[in-house]
A and B are shown apart, each in its own frame.
Chain A
């Protein structure tokens, strides 16, 4: 089948998902979306993406399966340990001056970053005064994040990352291993609100002191990146912090002027006052 036809099918499917279910992937970086949808088509056994569209339009139970292809990213706890070290050493000392804190993990996927930040805040004595918001558009990812259960074979890497981040405790203090799985302690999510929120279509919902949104912007096209960064700026308290992925940057953003570099090597920015 000509590629132009596949591209057209993808455009139509994304339009259908938006109009039928209000999931808006129309401004996601298209090359990656195409890989995922072609993979979904092949693995779910459809001859064409149009056939897949027909199914999802008429059968809502198909939606979660498709969302899994379109949204779920693979992450690790304490991915990029130097980022967490920078938060620990440079950002948290500032946050300690506040009596209460709000932290937003935007695009929390299956929760690895949520638990990483919860552990970091516990280690630094800030957990009890912090409210964490973990948001994603995929309900199944949110449920997995809330469950906090990970395959045991991933724990070695998580532990190594945690140590490199300057961890003051042992990761094993925070989970129970059973049947090949690590179940993270519920005390880590006592102060976490898991909630459905879209950076594409939803608005500001609280005033944050720290927003961590890593490796989400790379999936957006430029206009959508600008929308999301604008949303972050408007959600941040005075001198609040924004952490992006190691290969993401505000350099080309329409809102670059709204932030100053705080830890440039780790893509940690601080809201600049107008």
Chain B
């Protein structure tokens, strides 16, 4: 459960980012190859009244399908799903997605913890999760749950992050997580699901 070497084939990726998310995600998601076989689920903190601007932006930059997650849709490989603003995004045991308007967690809706914890339940050791830049501590409990379920935990190198509070909290909660730069995360994720 530690380091970046999955015990079993990866089934899904989860990513959480807050302040500085745009640049961080631009360094990772466009790098994923067109043949990337896994689904990628992303929570970015955005103000509740605003539409998620990440989706149209990344659609123009990525080789994969980028979309806002819809309630009860099955996750499909090679697709990047973003949580809609003002909704939590959760993964059901059958691998479908659901949304909720439950109260904010860590003052956030969507919350990274909510996605990571439910995804850890659904995918167990088949899950790879990364906590990127951010100025709060959302995602720390989620990354810990992911690691405890046998998944691969990754944290953006706090020293290089735009905002280091979120990576630092994640590392504190989950000290076994692999610390990587954005470039290293991009190449590690790109290698997943290819012939090994």
Q: Which of B91, B101, B122 touches A73 (beta carbons < 8 Å)? A: B101
Q: Are B103 and A219 in contact (CB under 8 A)?
A: no
Q: Which of A3, A32, A249 touches B98 (beta carbons < 8 Å)? A: A32
Q: Are B117 and A35 in contact (CB under 8 A)?
A: yes
Q: Are A74 and B84 in contact (CB under 8 A)?
A: no
Q: Which of B73, B92, B102 touches A74 (beta carbons < 8 Å)? A: B102
- Tell me if B99 counts as interface (CB < 8 A to partner A): yes
When chains A and B are docked, how far (Å) is the Cα of A218 from the Cα of B96? 12
Q: Are A219 and B149 in contact (CB under 8 A)?
A: no
When chains A and B are docked, how far (Å) is the Cα of A252 from the Cα of B96? 13
When chains A and B are docked, how far (Å) is the Cα of A252 from the Cα of B73? 9
Q: Please, which residues of chain B bring their CB within 8 A of the CB of A248? A: 71
Q: How far is the CB of B16 from chain A (nearest CB, A)?
A: 16
- Closest residue to B122 on the A side, CB-wise? A31
When chains A and B are docked, how far (Å) is the Cα of A215 from the Cα of B73? 16
Q: Are A74 and B101 in contact (CB under 8 A)?
A: yes
Interface residues of B in 49-78 (CB under 8 A from A): 70-73
Q: Are A219 and B100 in contact (CB under 8 A)?
A: yes
Q: Please, which residues of chain A bring their CB within 8 A of the CB of B90? A: 29, 31-32, 35
Q: How far is the CB of B14 from chain A (nearest CB, A)?
A: 13
When chains A and B are docked, how far (Å) is the Cα of A222 from the Cα of B73? 10
When chains A and B are docked, how far (Å) is the Cα of A36 from the Cα of B105? 12
- Closest residue to A80 on the B side, CB-wise? B86
Interface residues of B in 104-141 (CB under 8 A from A): 114, 117-118, 121-122, 124
Q: How far is the CB of A268 from chain B (nearest CB, A)?
A: 17
Q: Which of A34, A74, A217 touches B103 (beta carbons < 8 Å)? A: A74
Q: Are B70 and A247 in contact (CB under 8 A)?
A: yes
When chains A and B are docked, how far (Å) is the Cα of A31 from the Cα of B69? 16
Q: Are A30 and B87 in contact (CB under 8 A)?
A: no
When chains A and B are docked, how far (Å) is the Cα of A215 from the Cα of B70? 13
- Tell me if B93 counts as interface (CB < 8 A to partner A): yes
When chains A and B are docked, how far (Å) is the Cα of A74 from the Cα of B88? 13
Q: Are B102 and A35 in contact (CB under 8 A)?
A: yes
Interface residues of A in 32-50 (CB under 8 A from B): 32, 34-36
- Closest residue to B91 on the A side, CB-wise? A31
Q: Please, which residues of chain B bring their CB within 8 A of the CB of A247? A: 70-71, 84, 87, 99
Q: Please, which residues of chain A bring their CB within 8 A of the CB of B99? A: 218, 247
Interface residues of A in 210-224 (CB under 8 A from B): 215, 217-219, 221-222
Q: Are A218 and B70 in contact (CB under 8 A)?
A: no
Q: Please, which residues of chain A bring their CB within 8 A of the CB of B100? A: 29, 32, 218-219
When chains A and B are docked, how far (Å) is the Cα of A226 from the Cα of B114? 26
Q: How far is the CB of B144 from chain A (nearest CB, A)?
A: 14
- Most A-side CB within 10 Å, residue of B90, B91, B149: B90
Q: Please, which residues of chain B bring their CB within 8 A of the CB of A31? A: 90-93, 98, 118, 121-122
Q: Are A30 and B72 in contact (CB under 8 A)?
A: no
- Tell me if A19 counts as interface (CB < 8 A to partner B): no
- Closest residue to B99 on the A side, CB-wise? A218
Q: Please, which residues of chain A bring their CB within 8 A of the CB of B71? A: 217-218, 247-249
When chains A and B are docked, how far (Å) is the Cα of A222 from the Cα of B71? 10
Q: Please, which residues of chain A bring their CB within 8 A of the CB of B101? A: 73-75, 215, 218, 245
Q: Pull 30 A–B residue pairs with CB atoms less than 8 Å apart, ordered by A.
A: A3-B149, A7-B121, A29-B92, A29-B98, A29-B100, A30-B92, A31-B91, A31-B92, A31-B122, A32-B88, A35-B90, A35-B102, A35-B114, A35-B117, A36-B102, A73-B102, A74-B103, A75-B101, A215-B101, A217-B71, A218-B71, A218-B98, A218-B101, A219-B100, A222-B72, A225-B72, A247-B71, A247-B99, A249-B71, A252-B73
Q: What residues make up the interface of A, taking CB atoms closer than 8 Å to B?
A: 3, 7, 29-32, 34-36, 73-75, 215, 217-219, 221-222, 225, 245, 247-249, 252
| Beyond A31-B92, A218-B100, A248-B71, 14 additional pairs, beta carbon < 8 A | A30-B92, A31-B90, A31-B98, A31-B121, A32-B88, A32-B90, A35-B90, A35-B114, A75-B101, A215-B101, A218-B87, A218-B101, A221-B72, A247-B99
Q: What residues make up the interface of B, taking CB atoms closer than 8 Å to A?
A: 70-73, 84, 87-88, 90-93, 98-103, 114, 117-118, 121-122, 124, 149
